[in-house]
Each structure stands twice: as C-alpha cells, then as structure tokens.
C-alpha cells in the first residue's frame, strides 16, 4: 500500500506525556471493536456517527454495586436518582426499576419524574428555583421538598396557609467539610447560624414541620473523609433541632458527589489511582452515622449519587473526517462530535479508544470537533498514531451530564442508543433533523414571503432606465 506523503516535522519531546507508572492509559493507543458485544462498525453502520451508546448491563451493575456498599452497612438507605445527571427516560426507568426514587432540581424535572410514573412521595425536590406553583404542586402531591433559601421558606408558608395545614419540609444545609471552594450558594449556612434561624422561624410560625436535612457538598469529591464531617455535622444539627424545637428528623439526605473514573484535566495520575472505591465512602459515611446517631435511631439515609452511577456506562463514538498539521508541529484531527455534545470536555480528559489497531509512531495530537468555533476542542493533547479518515474514536466515560447539558448548536444532535442485557440495541433518543430545530420557531406574517432583498452578486445587475454614457476607448 502506498503511504500518503507527509512533510517531516521535528517535535520537541515533552515531559508529562508519560509518568513513573509507565505509559498513562489515557494516552495509550487502545483498540476497542465493541461495546457490550455489539461491534462499533455495526453501531455506526446502523445508527450513524456520532452516536452515544449506553450499557444497560453497566447501569444496573453499577447501581447494584453502589447500593450494596451502603445497604450492607446501614439498614435504611434509599437512592434518589439525580435527574440532571442524565434524564433520558430510559435511563431513569432503569434506575427506578432498580429501586431508586427521583431527585429533581426544577419543575421540568419534577414533571418528567411524574410523567415517568413516580408518585409525589418518591420525589425529592431540590434546587434553588421552585416557583410557588411548583411548590404547591409538589406539596399537594406529597413530594419531599428541601428548602434552598429563606424566600422559598416564606413561599412554603404561603402554600401552608393556602392548603390550611402545616407542611412537612426538609432544609438544605451548607457547611465547611474541608472541601474548597465551599458550595455555600445553596441552602442555609450551618456555621453562621443561618440554618438554625430558619428552623427557629419554622417553630415560631408553626406553618412548616422540619422532618429532613439535606446537603450536597460538591461533585467529584475525592475525599471520603469530607462525607464523615458532613454526616457528623448533619446529625449533630438534627439533634439540636429535635431537642430545642421538637422537630424529629426522619431523613438525612447527604447528596451526591462520589467521583466516577473520569479524569480531571489537571490531574497527573490516572483515575484508577486517584478515585477511591465506593466502599471507602460507604465505610466513612456509615461509621460517622453510627458514631453520632443515638442508639436505636436510624433515620432514612438518602444518597443522590449521579456521576458515580452513570458516567462509566456511557460512550460516544465519533469519526475522524479530516486531519491537518498545525504550525506548531502538532497533528490535528477533526472529529464529527465536539463540545456541542461533550459539555464535560471543559473539565475532563476522556479515555480514548480507537476502533482498530493503528500502525505507526504515536505523536502529540489534538482532536477538534466539527464546529466552526475555535473553542471546539475535544482533547487538547494526546498521543495518537496516524489515523485515517473514517477511523472511529470511542470516548468514555461520558454518561454523566453530557446528554443533559449538550446543546443544539450548529449541528444536529445524534442518536442515543441503549444496549440491553442480551445485546439488543434500542434508540432511546432519536437523532434530530431540521423539524426538531424549527418545531417552536415562528416567522411573523409580515416577514413573509422570504426572499433575499439584496441580489446575490452573481446575478445580473438591475437594468437602469438611463444608462450612463460610456466613454469610448481609444484604440491605439
């Protein structure tokens, strides 16, 4: 086979592309020809490229592993599926089948959970923006509402007035657990006394009954110890509230935040080394519960784990459609999926696998997405062997936060597939076409019919009524 000629380049060798543990798996040229036994070629042949692929076996297994880590250590555990992490109905349905209730942070997500058949009492309603109408609906349907700020507390008092009975509520706390920057914009602060002031008001007005505490200390938390601090502070607050005001705390909702094995851009080591196993989190959290709870008291422990359950079960297959050499010597590849589909690429460096064993020497390469936008970079620097056009890259983990935060911008969004436990493939979100994009767009009548006002340059100029006198050219 005749090789394509490429002008030779001299590349400066860079430190950081290797580490003392050998070649970093992130940069390795790994071949992957299938996902859950279904070939990459068949997936792309049938459903196009790019395409998101989720593994049902993976989702169920991951959920069961994490649930088991907690349920074998504490008798009263329930998981609330964090809708914003991935609210594709098929994904939510799998997790609800497995026993997770819904954790939602907006009226839209609340409506989605209800439409999927979740009853109000199986919905935890978090988040800073809950309209009065949404609160009324959630309260009347028996959802667990965790108050984010004082204005919401006042709104809930109005709801209680309207329905003529006190309303059971939870309170979101924020606190110092040693994780910085602290997520202090959500909930009421513990250390400053703000949270206790809110409880005092509930006790005085008698319109709200505090029966739960919520906290979410952040996402991708690599320290299990931070959760031990969180639990200790929540339990201590719960008993203060009970002793001072008689509110019995029936649930402790510790939020989510356990990391998946995605790799933060600045980190040197592979996530296999930096991400603690979920058992360590479960151990620290349940130890803190037993050390701080009063004998015989087992409030319900809610866990709102998102990324740790779903991230590693999602893949994106994308195809290389062009390549070029950048002036700094780097090789650049253009792939048909970019930041329009991969919102998390701003923070994470994906594991990158190739659908074939590519021959040739690896060199520092950059992968750009398809958009006509400078920031559309999927991976800034990675070692890649020469890749032909048509090569498929399999990026992972991409199951968390991408198919909710993706944007319809410039390109259509592609098919999302689910591989079932028998290797069957279902489309769980159909690829878009122009009708999806135009569905809610309107053209005011006065702007119709649409035709260009300015004639394209290639068309003949309009004929003038009085042509200017042309000067005759004198021919020598």
**For binding to ligand PLP (CB under 6 A), which residues are involved?**
82, 85, 103, 126, 216, 219, 255-258, 304-308, 400
> What gap in Å lies between CA 158 and CA 152, rounded to an integer?
10
Question: With contact defined as beta carbons under 8 Å apart, do 355 and 391 qualify?
Answer: yes
Q: Are strands 351-354 and 101-104 parallel, antiparallel or unpaired?
A: unpaired
Smaller CB separation from ligand PLP, 308 or 384: 308
CA geometry: angle at 35 spanning 315 and 71, to 5°? Answer: 75
d(CA 232, CA 228) in angstroms, rounded, equals 6
Say how far apart CA 196 and CA 211 lie, in whole Å: 14
Is-cis flag, bond preceding 449, omega within 30? yes
Q: Helix 224-245 crosses helix 278-292 at what angle (to 10 degrees)?
A: 30
Angle made by CA atoms 376, 181, 17, in degrees to the nearest 5: 45
**Burial of 50 per CB tally in 10 Å (0-12, 13-18, 19+):** buried
361: its two tokens: 């020497």
- The token pair at 215 is 């906290």
């Amino acid at each position: 086979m005749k090789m394509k000629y490429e002008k030779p380049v001299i590349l400066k060798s860079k430190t950081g592309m290797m580490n003392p543990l050998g070649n970093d798996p992130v940069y390795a040229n790994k071949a992957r020809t299938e996902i859950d036994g279904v070939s990459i070629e068949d997936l792309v042949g049938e459903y196009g490229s790019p395409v998101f692929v989720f593994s049902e076996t993976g989702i169920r297994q991951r959920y069961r592993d994490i649930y088991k880590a907690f349920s074998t250590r504490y008798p009263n555990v329930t998981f609330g599926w964090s809708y914003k992490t991935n609210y594709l109905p098929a994904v939510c349905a799998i997790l609800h089948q497995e026993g997770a209730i819904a954790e939602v942070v907006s009226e839209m997500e609340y409506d989605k959970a209800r439409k999927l058949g979740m009853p109000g009492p199986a919905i935890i309603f978090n988040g800073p923006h809950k309209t009065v109408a949404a609160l009324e609906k959630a309260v009347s349907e028996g959802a667990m509402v965790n108050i984010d700020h004082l204005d919401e507390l006042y709104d809930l008092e109005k709801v209680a007035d309207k329905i003529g009975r006190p309303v059971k509520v939870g309170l979101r706390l924020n606190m110092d657990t040693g994780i910085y920057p602290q997520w202090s914009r959500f909930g009421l602060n513990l250390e400053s006394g703000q949270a206790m002031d809110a409880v005092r008001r509930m006790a005085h007005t008698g319109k709200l009954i505090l029966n739960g505490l919520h906290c979410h200390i952040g996402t991708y938390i690599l320290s299990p110890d931070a959760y031990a601090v969180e639990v200790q502070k929540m339990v201590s607050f719960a008993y203060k509230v009970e002793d001072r005001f008689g509110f019995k705390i029936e649930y402790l909702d510790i939020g989510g935040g356990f990391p998946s094995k995605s790799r933060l851009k600045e980190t040197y080591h592979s996530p296999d080394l930096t991400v603690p196993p979920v058992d360590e989190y479960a151990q620290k959290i349940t130890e803190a519960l037993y050390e701080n709870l009063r004998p015989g008291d087992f409030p319900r422990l809610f866990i709102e784990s998102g990324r740790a359950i779903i991230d590693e079960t999602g893949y994106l297959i994308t195809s290389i459609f062009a390549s070029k050499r950048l002036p700094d010597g780097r090789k650049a590849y253009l792939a048909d999926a970019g930041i329009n589909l991969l919102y998390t690429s701003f923070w994470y460096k994906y594991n990158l696998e190739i659908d074939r064993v590519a021959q040739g020497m690896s060199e520092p390469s950059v992968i750009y997405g398809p958009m006509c936008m400078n920031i559309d970079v999927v991976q800034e620097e990675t070692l890649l062997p020469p890749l032909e056009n048509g090569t498929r890259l399999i990026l992972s983990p991409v199951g968390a936060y991408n198919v909710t935060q993706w944007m319809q911008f410039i390109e259509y969004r592609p098919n999302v597939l689910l591989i079932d436990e028998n290797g069957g493939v279902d489309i769980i979100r159909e690829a878009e076409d122009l009708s999806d994009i135009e569905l809610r767009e309107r053209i005011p009548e006065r702007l119709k019919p649409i035709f260009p006002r300015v004639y394209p340059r290639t068309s003949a100029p309009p004929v003038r009524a009085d042509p200017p006198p042309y000067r005759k050219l004198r021919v020598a």
